[in-house]
Amino acid sequence: MTDTHIVRARYQSVNLHLSTRVPPLSSLTSEQRPDHGVLSSNSRRIPVEFPAHLQANEALEVPRFILLQQGPKRGTTMARLAHKVAIVTGGSHGIGAATCAMMAREGAAVAIADILDEDGERLAQSIESGGGRAHYWNLDVTDEGAVKRVLGEVADEFGKLDILVNNAGIAGENKATDELSAEEWDEVMNVNVRGVFFCTKHAIPHLRRAGGGAIVNLSSIYGIISAQDIPAYHASKGAVRLMTKTDALTYAKERIRVNSVHPGFIWTPLVEDLARRSGEDVEAFRSSLDERHPIGHVGEPDDIAAGILYLASDEAKFVTGSELVIDGGYTAQ
């Protein structure tokens, strides 16, 4: 099978089953036994290599959040981000990690920036061992000096910078506005707004030197609509939405495109943490979220990563100042 990937598992596991593209394993002799199969998850079919000891219909532990398929498919056309260099903030887990893995598969050299060092290093090693290019940097996006330094180091390490994904973000305290302290408000704004400002400010000179590039800002459906919770988060994501449009206009003539992505509820560590803090059973919380989406379920990190990949690629060369909503129909109601 020429399009096989090795799949590596991270984060919380669930049982999925392998099927094969050949007759059932039980009908084959040991000499005929294949060493490849197809992993099925939510209607997605992912070619994998599986252990020789695995039997037909035997469960394989794989991650709920991310399947890290490393390296471009053999025998296919040029990868969508070939010769590009990208940095993803908040890149160690959730949407950020899915984006790093997907960009690496599509040929980009990826800088993973986060404060979760162990996860970040593990992800970089996984991408490298699968034939991609990646390096991890510890980065607190609220520290302007650190942002400027890390962006410079990324450009030095990989030779340039083409893509910035402003993904780092926190939800903050779930209190009414009159119950929030100034410190709680500022904590969210420092990460979600100042972090985007600092990273964009110090990425622009590198993108200019590269002759242009793409910035993708992670806003939210809660940068477009609202709800009766986490007011600082809502305000911060609304700010990111408008910052995106302003910068898109400012830098358009320099061939620097700036767009925002607005995820609905995506089952990430951040959302799972909200579930745990809600006082409700986590699975019940998830089921209630599923019911809010016309499509019938919450999204996966790869759903958002695919949109980010598009906006970062040359396929989106005529797209700037746009809002890409990926929400399973949530905001259409």
Cα angle for residues 252, 258, 264 (degrees, 5° grid): 155
CA 311 – CA 217 distance, rounded (Å):
10
Q: Does residue 136 have an active-site annotation?
A: no
Q: Which of 121, 196, 135 is nearest to 164 (CA)?
A: 196
Q: Which of 136, 222, 233, 251 is catalytic?
A: 233
Q: Which segments within the chain are labelled E, that is strand?
A: 7-10, 13-19, 36-41, 44-49, 59-63, 66-69, 85-89, 109-114, 133-138, 163-166, 213-218, 256-263, 323-326
**C-alpha pair distances (Å), 217 with each of 90, 184, 235, 311:** 12, 23, 15, 10
72 DSSP 8-state letter: P
Residues tagged active-site: 233
